[in-house]
Amino acid sequence: MISVIIPTLWLAEGFMDRLMQLSAIEEVAEIILIDNSENPPDLVIPKLVHIREYQNTYVNPAWNKGVALARHDRLCIMNDDINFENDLFSKVEPHIREENGMIGLYNFDGIPYYDDGDGGIEFKIVDSRGWRGMGYACLFFIHRRRYKPIPLGLKVWFGDDYLFRFNGAPNYMMQNINVWGATSVTSRLPVFDSVKISDSEIYSEILKNA
């Protein structure tokens, strides 16, 4: 069973439908929604654990909190603007193992969707992120024992980079799957520009001291 962790500010179109879709998937045991909006809605959705923050705690701290609250070792962390087919979870679940690191998305250069595969899902080991690895922040799977809490100073960016580099196991990209979306609807807003600059400086220091 998989614990799904999603931070949200409720800016992504169709997010309520995605929550309902997740709740109906057999392999999804719980949906931990870290609600960073000031006026969180009242929700009655099966499997939903609704954490109302009443302020923006940002992405990476939300991931850390969701992992700490999760009841299961197999974790999925996803954006609120990602669409997926239901069988994604049954296909990936057996691969979320302690000996594996992150399992993330293959990403075509600059195109806001991932892969329109019609065959069996493929897992490709990857040594570095590069541009084609940018999809990790949008949707990834990881075993709890490979999740390293992201340093507190990192708020929006570089959480996935940190996990990719420091989880201590081989990382994989999923290919030949159906996952799509606008991607980073919230984090692209200008209000987060200064936060991302700060994240860049902090992550540079982390790498210097690694």
Give residue 20's pLDDT band: very low, low, confident or very high (50, 70, 90).
very high
- In words, the CATH class of domain 2-208 is alpha beta
Name the pTM for this structure: 0.90
> Residue 110: what residue type?
G
Q: Which of 106-120, 121-135, 168-182 is predicted with the least confidence, judged by mean pLDDT? A: 106-120
Q: Which of 26-30, 114-118, 162-166 has the highest mean pLDDT?
A: 26-30
Confirm if 103 and 172 have CB atoms less than 8 A apart: yes
Give residue 107's pLDDT band: very low, low, confident or very high (50, 70, 90).
low
Angle at the Cα of 123 (from 210 to 132), degrees rounded to 5? 60
The DSSP 8-state label assigned to residue 194 in this structure reads H
Q: What is the mean pLDDT of residues 105-127?
A: 64
- The string of pLDDT tens digits covering residues 21-34 is 999 999 999 999 99
Cα→Cα distances 102→40, 45, 95, 204, Å: 30, 28, 10, 21
- pLDDT the model gives residue 138: 85
Which of these, 33, 70, 28, 64, lies nearest to 49 by C-alpha position? Answer: 33
- pLDDT the model gives residue 115: 53
> Does residue 189 have a pLDDT over 80?
no
- pLDDT the model gives residue 190: 65
> Does residue 1 have a pLDDT over 50?
yes
- The string of pLDDT tens digits covering residues 36-62 is 999 999 999 999 999 999 999 999 999
Q: What is the mean pLDDT of residues 128-156?
A: 83
> Does residue 6 have a pLDDT over 90?
yes
- pLDDT the model gives residue 170: 94
